[in-house]
Structure 1
Amino acid sequence: MRSSHGERLRCDRKICSNKPDSVVLYVLSGFDFQSFIYEENIERRPLLLDANSDSYQSLADGEMGQERHVLKIRTGDEVLELYAYKLDRAKTVLYYALTICTLGLFRLLLHWKPDWYIKVRATRCAHEVAHYVNVIDEHNVEAFRPIRLYTSASNGIVPQIPTGNGTMEKVDVIRYFTFRKLKYIWKSDLEEWISPADLDGEIPLKYFHSLSESGTGLSEEDVACRRLTYGSNLIDVKLKPILVLLFIEAISPFYIFQVFSVSIWFSDHYEYYASIIVVMSVMSIGIDVYQTRSQEKKLRSMVQSSNEVDVLRADGVKTISSEELVPGDIFLVPAHGGVLQCDAVLMNGTAIVNESMLTGESVPITKVALTAVHDDDEDERFSFEKHSKHILYCGTNVLQTRYYQGKQVKAIVLRTAYSTLKGQLVRSIMYPKPIDFRFTKDLFKFVAFLFFIALFGFAYTIAIMVQRNEPLRKIIVRSLDIVTIVVPPALPAAMSVGIINSNLRLRKKEIFCISPSTINTCGAINVCCFDKTGTLTEDGLDFQTLRAVIPGSEREPPEFTEEKAQLNPALLPSGGELVTAIATCHSITKIDGELHGDPLDLILFNQTGWSLLESVDDEVDSEVQLFDNIQPTLVRPPIELTEKQMFNKEYSIIRQFTFSSSLQRMSVIVSNPRDDSTHDMTLYCKGSPEMVLTLCDPATVPPDYVAQVNLYAQHGYRLISVAKRQLEMNYVKACKIPRNMVEADLTLLGLVVLENRVKPVTLGVINQLNRAHIRTVMVTGDNLLTAQSVARECGIIRPNKLAFLVEHRTDMFDPKGRPLLTLRQAVSSSEKTVEGEEGDCSDVSVETGRKHFLDSCYQLSISGPTFAVLSHEYPELLEPLVAVCDVFARMAPDQKQQLINSLQAIDYTVAMCGDGANDCAALKAAHAGISLSDAEASIAAPFTSRIADIRCVPTVIREGRAALVTSFGVFKYMAGYSLTQFSSIMLLYWISTNLTDFQFLYIDMFLITLVAVFFGNTPASDMLSPTPPPTRLLSLASVTSVCGQLVIMALTQLYVFISITWQPWFIPYSVPVGDEQEDKRSMQVGICRYSTD
């Protein structure tokens, strides 16, 4: 919720989006933002918001008395308002009476206005006794859902509902409703509606381990009860019957108005055009139904699947259909090539999976087993985000599993059907976020304005015809005909021509759109956000150099070696242990004889020259057989190095802590065999230089570490820090110890420097967007200085602008106890700082910073940790700074989404272009998400480009502008022509005449319809203009244009209409008495006809 100062906030948001310079001045001058602080709770909110909270009180319309008829719940990313209703007999009788008396028109009106339906049929009540729930989402979209009951008498199964600890509790009756494929259950003891999927965060980790260690699965009775509660495990996209689709399409307001218009025309003997409109409408309905059906089939074929799975039940292992899986089932993960049909927690072994169907990321990902619960963490709860590396997602393909000696990999079903991550993405396609676009709202307002004009003409026609004692039938037909003239029935169809043609042109350019309604929105885009790696830069990295650490002594601190162009252990200190770390610390796996993994891991591993083997030896140490040890991955150095006794013959990777965006690192535990048949355990860790520094023993870090990191980062290089820790433990402890207990007190081994080259087309595209005055923003998980350097190289940061870093201090606080925010200028080595040496990075005082913000152009950059501080501690500064920051580095996936939402909150129309799993949330949140993927359709974004570079972005914007301009032009043309024809008819009605049928046909068919169709086929411009198309249909320019044209045409028609009567050759024609036909041979008819053209 926004504060009571919402109007003032919206006003200043416009300042933020239009005049970013002024915003920074507010920030630097200590502008009072207190009135803008949001009332949102920045911590995780409970599923049910307190009824006594402000947010709850604001939902009620007046006093509620003792009944709680409205609740507000959070489920996943959605916030829903639930209003309880019960049927009212008196209202129901009235409803049926009105429906019958109006021959169904009253029911049709309620179909168009669903929010009225519930008020006509029911009254508000407490949720405990409700028959219906009116669900309103955060976009104010409403749905009226019936509440259903289930008791044990239904089919003999005892009803059970889930608890917060993973178990089920028996109840007398289950009250539930479904909304957008999810089931919501009423918990009478808590007096709240719950979604079972939202209880995952309350399950203790020990529940999963106890269930896995029990060795037995669910009983048949438990399975039956859970299937009753959760339903079948099937993402079923049901195909609506053709007749239903036809009926739904036919009763839309557009086609009902066409039925009305055609009825008037046929009654007026205007059969030609009416017949053409009937044929066109039937064809249009058929095309719409065909497209809807095709989209349903395409979505169904893309997402609906099932297979057989081996599941542990109380009576042993059974092979069942995946549709029969329920949460709590234990199943065996297939060793090769299986598609998962549920979200599950991996309990032992590891699994190599491909999640490209969900994220577009084609790089295989390693999933590891859920670690054992430590004594200090017995109460730790499961988190979908925190434990994502242990979750096997529905829809992912299992490439390979590494399993226990004599045991297969097991997983516990967590979520099924539409509750899964895949199900949520499918739901986002089936129920997309409404397009909040001013053009569409203005269109409806203008149509309403045309109806008011039509009402004036309606009244005018009745008045003059009644005065002339015209027959009643003629009065009715002529007065209603005016409505069809002012509001052309073909207007909605003509408005969609530009979108259809733009979509076809995009497909020819290998850009596919699953939501054509967003194309118009693309024409208004004024901010483009880009991921860095794989989007702006190449997917691969080039090894540049290596800086190993020479250990220090009591007198000398540690120091870096000179740059090494290759991983030659003979040239490195400590026996080349840095090479061992690089060769073992990775998530590479061998599938079908080929190495697969993260591109960075592959590049570094190939530099070592080592080889990787998947262990298949059944003869392992007895200690390994007794405990939870998976088959290790073996790496071997080249033979020439082992012969020189520089390395052992092989190293076993027995434990892997996978890479996490939030942790910014990965680690492995490596077993190093010794001559005495024992093993050394070593932890190797690699990650971002900032994070690894916090984990290292300061005595092992060279004093110039930060300076060296900044030096390389300023030149755009990507840096990886490598460290190690010798472990004094056996296999058992190594396989059980928590990650945070071993990733500490590390010894720094060195820095690896890689170059991430900018794609050849990137600079040209960014410059093209800059010239079009479209703001470009980089959003990446890379180092801040590296991101800033790449941003400068590709044109996001201009050469003539100063670049400042927004940072926070952890050792200094403001009077409110918040971390202090600072500005720091960072430039490339060839530029001067504000106050410092060349190539320096120095803090700038607030006064100095203020001066330079006033006197010069500037651009800001910010890192994820500082962005988090702004979000939590300085919410009043978040949106103003977002308006001027152009580089966002070290951003977590949820922060990328928050950034997109913040940009949208200050009235930007945002496009997001990315290619990886970390971009999915941001792609979905943006007005126009563009995924770079080989697939024709991605459920992560409305647009998918098969060409993996950012050339698609200006193409989408150009086509969006073409569709938007076409829609503007078509509307103004049709509205102008309709109003012109309206003025003509008003004049002709004055003398009791009208246009002939063929004149109407010529105007309606050739001058309006055909021109509008060809108008919409105009291709997009080859360049992006700095002046964007207007987005407001009701802007002063648009309204003045249409109204001015109307006035000019009306005055012209009036002049020629009157002046012709003054001509000596003018012969008026009088209608014989009793003749109901208009005088269509009048010279004034021809004058109005030609002046209209």
Structure 2
Amino acid sequence: MYPKPVDFRFTKDLFKFVAFLFFIALFGFIYTIIIMIERNQSIRDIIIRSLDIITIVVPPALPAAMSVGIINSNLRLRKEEIFCISPSTINTCGAINVCCFDKTGTLTEDGLDFHALRAVRPPISLNFIFQEKSEMNPADFPSDGELITAIATCHSLTKIHGELHGDPLDLILFNKTGWAMVETVDDREESEMQLYDNVQVLYLSGEYSVIRHSSLQRMSVIVSNPRDDSSHVMTLFCKGSPEMILSLCDPSTVPQNYSTQVDLYAQHGYRLIAVARKALELNYAKASKVPRNMVENDLTLLGLVALENRVKSVTKGVINQLNRARIRTVMVTGDNLLTAMSVAQECGIIRPTKTAYLIEHRADVVDDKGRLLLTLRQVRTVVEDSISVEVGKKHILESSYQLSISGPTFAIVTRHYPELLDRLVSVCDVFARMSPDQKQQLINGLQKIDYTVAMCGDGANDCAALKAAHAGISLSDAEASIAAPFTSRIADIRCVPTVIREGRAALVTSFGVFKYMAGYSLTQFTTVLLLYWISNTLTDFQFLYIDMFLITFVALFFGNTPASDRLSSTPPPIRLLSLASVASVCGQLLIIAISQLYVFILIAREPWFFPYAPPDGLDRLSRRSMQGTGLFCMSTFQYITLALINSTGEPYLSSVFFSTGPFCRFHVSLIITLWPPGFVIKFLEYDPIPFFENRLYLVIVAFICTVLSYLFHRGVVEFLILQLREK
């Protein structure tokens, strides 16, 4: 039941990039050993300095820094009453490009409103009774209201502390009948109650013996009335989906316009329950042992119950928001296909600008390969066109169509047309009469063709799909919440765009933090390699200043940036090793390396320069050098530049350009470069560069480096690479 482990490209690319950094560190490790041996350094210094290179290039703080975005997004989700039991899934939500929704309780309200009854009046003729009945008055129905009797007895309700509890649909219908239930158990027969063939026998009162089973799209009860003279006459009442009840009924008891009436109600979005009966010559002992398949046949149709399932007020707005963001929306439900299509049209999953078609199969027609024939049926005109596999491929790929399919036809496609399955799941927008296993199969099919899938549902029949999806979002605190990584206490789909926005924020934050940490480590790697050339390195407190004041605070600054309020139509990149990411890191590193090398050579050519002469011993003051000071000051500006460039703002995060954090660090770096106080010089242990003009020139070089880095990021990475990728 627990959500499956996340298998996400970003995580795989992360390990590959770390391996790449390790090879760079290996190069620096070998370089350090060679030059330090040439300079006759001690073995102790060679080992320490060589290992320093590895910790610089592959920073130990990387895992903690990478989790900052996820932690902060998770905290923001909790404030929205969305709880996550698998935080690693949050990054995956940033890549979601298709959202699947259950219908009842997810897109529509939890409860159902009773609409009408349509009863069959014997003898069977062409039509049902001519008008709907919105009240259950037995005098208005044939056979003394036997349809109402069936509704009042065929349920799974029970009394707890004097109140009825059970399935909401059963509760609505029972209350509408006006009947009262007195729940007692006959002591004489209580010991005889057993479980046979998955059928539970239970006395609900002194009048009724009940068989209940809630699977297979139907449930049945066997009732007896002690007031009847015969003790061997019982009645089976069965209710369920119109298709299932039709398959169990005697065809002579079914009006000719049954399917037309069912389609008519379904097209208006009503949920339909068909009701049937059968007289049985059984006593209680036999009824308690009879298998259901022996009695659920040759039923007599009693009528239809129509219930209205209203769309939630927020549903249409959320679906439109997802559509504008170019995130595909799909309905996956166990309800009637036409009912599902009606709700899909109402909430915006099926758009009015496109033609809606049903994909169906002909049970009585096969093609030359012995496969059941598939048909396309336009919903409005109800005109059928038979399609072969070849023609169907062209039709199914047609972008002007919006297709819908039912579970039985989906099973036919899976079994007989596997070559169409990938195309089918990529274009169908409504999947109805889907079993829990078929829902899971659909999710797996979407993942197979590289969709990143979110599934939102509220029932136990959604558990398999919630577990299979990249991001399962449960609107229930019951079984579904165990299988789903996310659970929303607000039982509507407004949580879906919130999860996607926070996922995008966490994803781009993770991208930014990683590119910043990689850039920071390679920047410090360049600084240290240059200083190793003169047998020098940064001082301990210079390392501490960079790691604590700059790097740690920047990592926190990344994670605290909230998600954008709107859902962009442009998805964030999901590949860490994409051309844009690699070009960004390599380009910034090249600019930084050239600027540091320029400063390193420039200082050495100044007339006031005193070359570094490493003294004997391990004196801490031995690390003071003008070139070390210049590279340290230069690198502090470069760390800030990397933070600003890699902290992507809109459209995924709120703008961070005018945040106070980067500007505070910039001013501190400016002060310690241009006007270093005495205690700073003592604490950081560096030789200040003489003459203000020279220090100002160093700041100008840092500013030019910042401008070049920004232009490279905007002009090359974002414009040439990312925009060309979108085109």
Q: TM-score, normalised by structure 2?
A: 0.82
Instruction: Describe the superposition over 1:196-220 as per-residue Cα deviations: whole angstroms up to 9, x where unpaired.
Output: xxxxxxxxxxxxxxxxxxxxxxxxx
CA drift at 1:496: 0.9
Equivalent of 1:1067, from 609, 612, 615? 609
Q: Does the 8 A contact of 1:655 with 1:734 survive in 2? A: no
Q: Does the 8 A contact of 2:97 with 2:328 survive in 1? A: yes
Q: 1:991 to 1:1018 in 2, by over 3 A?
A: same
Q: 1:550 to 1:935 in 2, by over 3 A?
A: closer
CA drift at 1:787: 0.7
Distance 1:1037 1:576 in 2: 72
Code of the aligned partner of 1:576:
G
Code of the aligned partner of 1:843:
E
CA drift at 1:936: 12
Equivalent of 1:511, from 82, 92, 116? 82
Equivalent of 2:421, from 860, 875, 878? 878
- Aligned partner of 2:555 in structure 1 is 1012
**Superposition pairs of residues 904-919 of structure 1, within 5 angstroms:** 904-919=447-462
Equivalent of 1:759, from 278, 299, 312? 312
- Aligned partner of 2:337 in structure 1 is 784
SS in 1 for 2:567: coil
SS in 1 for 2:25: helix
- Aligned partner of 2:213 in structure 1 is 658
Q: Does the 8 A contact of 1:524 with 1:1028 survive in 2? A: yes
Does residue 176 of structure 2 align to residue 610 of structure 1?
no
Instruction: Describe the superposition over 1:989-1035 as per-residue Cα deviations: whole angstroms up to 9, x where unpaired.
Output: 22222222222111111111111122112222222111122111100
CA drift at 1:815: 2.0
Equivalent of 2:516, from 969, 973, 977? 973
CA drift at 1:733: 2.5
Code of the aligned partner of 1:458:
F
Distance 2:63 2:259 in 1: 61
Q: 1:621 to 1:970 in 2, by over 3 A?
A: closer
Instruction: Describe the superposition over 1:442-467 as per-residue Cα deviations: whole angstroms up to 9, x where unpaired.
Output: 11111111111111111222222222
- Aligned partner of 1:577 in structure 2 is 146
Q: Which has the higher contact order (CA 8 A, sep 6+)?
A: 2
**Superposition pairs of residues 229-308 of structure 1, within 5 angstroms:** none
Q: Does the 8 A contact of 1:588 with 1:598 survive in 2? A: yes
Distance 2:167 2:339 in 1: 20
Distance 1:582 1:947 in 2: 32
Q: 1:468 to 1:1076 in 2, by over 3 A?
A: farther
Q: Does the 8 A contact of 2:460 with 2:479 survive in 1? A: no
Q: Does the 8 A contact of 2:362 with 2:372 survive in 1? A: yes
- Aligned partner of 1:562 in structure 2 is 131
Distance 1:882 1:849 in 2: 14
Equivalent of 2:302, from 744, 749, 752? 749
CA drift at 1:1041: 0.4
- Aligned partner of 1:471 in structure 2 is 42
Distance 2:472 2:395 in 1: 36
- Aligned partner of 2:97 in structure 1 is 526
SS in 2 for 1:535: helix
Code of the aligned partner of 2:336:
N
- Aligned partner of 1:1054 in structure 2 is 597
Code of the aligned partner of 1:471:
S
Structure 2 runs not aligned, ≥5 long:
637-727
**Superposition pairs of residues 169-248 of structure 1, within 5 angstroms:** none
SS in 1 for 2:502: helix
Q: Does the 8 A contact of 2:4 with 2:467 survive in 1? A: no
Instruction: Describe the superposition over 1:31-58 as per-residue Cα deviations: whole angstroms up to 9, x where unpaired.
Output: xxxxxxxxxxxxxxxxxxxxxxxxxxxx
- Aligned partner of 2:656 in structure 1 is none
Does residue 385 of structure 2 align to residue 844 of structure 1?
yes
> Which one is further off, 857-866 or 1044-1053?
857-866
Q: Does the 8 A contact of 1:551 with 1:559 survive in 2? A: no
Q: 1:745 to 1:468 in 2, by over 3 A?
A: same
Instruction: Describe the superposition over 1:770-818 as per-residue Cα deviations: whole angstroms up to 9, x where unpaired.
Output: 1221111111110011111111111111121211111111101122212
- Aligned partner of 1:926 in structure 2 is 469
Q: 1:486 to 1:1027 in 2, by over 3 A?
A: same
- Aligned partner of 1:802 in structure 2 is 355
Does residue 377 of structure 2 align to residue 824 of structure 1?
yes
Q: 1:515 to 1:1030 in 2, by over 3 A?
A: same
Q: Does the 8 A contact of 1:624 with 1:731 survive in 2? A: no
Distance 2:479 2:458 in 1: 14
Q: 1:477 to 1:856 in 2, by over 3 A?
A: closer
CA drift at 1:677: 6.1
Q: Does the 8 A contact of 2:101 with 2:457 survive in 1? A: yes
Q: Does the 8 A contact of 1:548 with 1:561 survive in 2? A: no
The structure with the largest helix share of the pair is 2
- Aligned partner of 1:123 in structure 2 is none
Instruction: Describe the superposition over 1:1035-1073 as per-residue Cα deviations: whole angstroms up to 9, x where unpaired.
Output: 000000011000011111112222233334x32234166
Distance 1:1072 1:699 in 2: 106
Distance 1:854 1:887 in 2: 16
Distance 1:900 1:621 in 2: 45
SS in 2 for 1:669: strand
SS in 2 for 1:528: strand
- Aligned partner of 1:716 in structure 2 is 269
Q: Does the 8 A contact of 2:396 with 2:427 survive in 1? A: no
CA drift at 1:673: 4.1
Q: Does the 8 A contact of 1:535 with 1:948 survive in 2? A: yes
SS in 2 for 1:550: coil
**Superposition pairs of residues 49-64 of structure 1, within 5 angstroms:** none
CA drift at 1:844: 2.5
Code of the aligned partner of 2:558:
F
Distance 1:610 1:657 in 2: 19
SS in 1 for 2:116: strand
Does residue 37 of structure 2 align to residue 482 of structure 1?
no
| Identity score, percent | 74
Distance 2:193 2:90 in 1: 59
Distance 1:743 1:995 in 2: 85
Instruction: Describe the superposition over 1:419-477 as per-residue Cα deviations: whole angstroms up to 9, x where unpaired.
Output: xxxxxx4xx4xxx6332111111111111111111111112222222222223322222
Q: Does the 8 A contact of 1:672 with 1:679 survive in 2? A: no
Code of the aligned partner of 1:496:
S
Distance 1:443 1:477 in 2: 27
SS in 2 for 1:482: helix
Distance 1:809 1:529 in 2: 28
Q: Does the 8 A contact of 1:717 with 1:756 survive in 2? A: yes
- Aligned partner of 1:1038 in structure 2 is 581
Distance 1:929 1:960 in 2: 13
Q: 1:560 to 1:851 in 2, by over 3 A?
A: farther
Code of the aligned partner of 1:657:
R
Q: 1:1057 to 1:765 in 2, by over 3 A?
A: same
CA drift at 1:622: 14
CA drift at 1:930: 1.6
Structure 1 runs not aligned, ≥5 long:
1-424, 635-650, 827-838
Distance 1:936 1:736 in 2: 31
Distance 1:935 1:738 in 2: 31
Q: 1:1045 to 1:674 in 2, by over 3 A?
A: same
Q: Does the 8 A contact of 2:139 with 2:145 survive in 1? A: yes
- Aligned partner of 1:595 in structure 2 is 164
SS in 2 for 1:578: helix
Code of the aligned partner of 1:1042:
V
Does residue 122 of structure 2 align to residue 544 of structure 1?
no
CA drift at 1:631: 5.8
Aligned length: 630
Q: TM-score, normalised by structure 1?
A: 0.55
- Aligned partner of 1:731 in structure 2 is 284
Q: Does the 8 A contact of 2:248 with 2:299 survive in 1? A: yes
Q: 1:604 to 1:1009 in 2, by over 3 A?
A: same
Q: 1:530 to 1:629 in 2, by over 3 A?
A: closer
Q: 1:446 to 1:622 in 2, by over 3 A?
A: closer
Code of the aligned partner of 2:317:
G
- Aligned partner of 2:68 in structure 1 is 497
Q: 1:1002 to 1:516 in 2, by over 3 A?
A: same
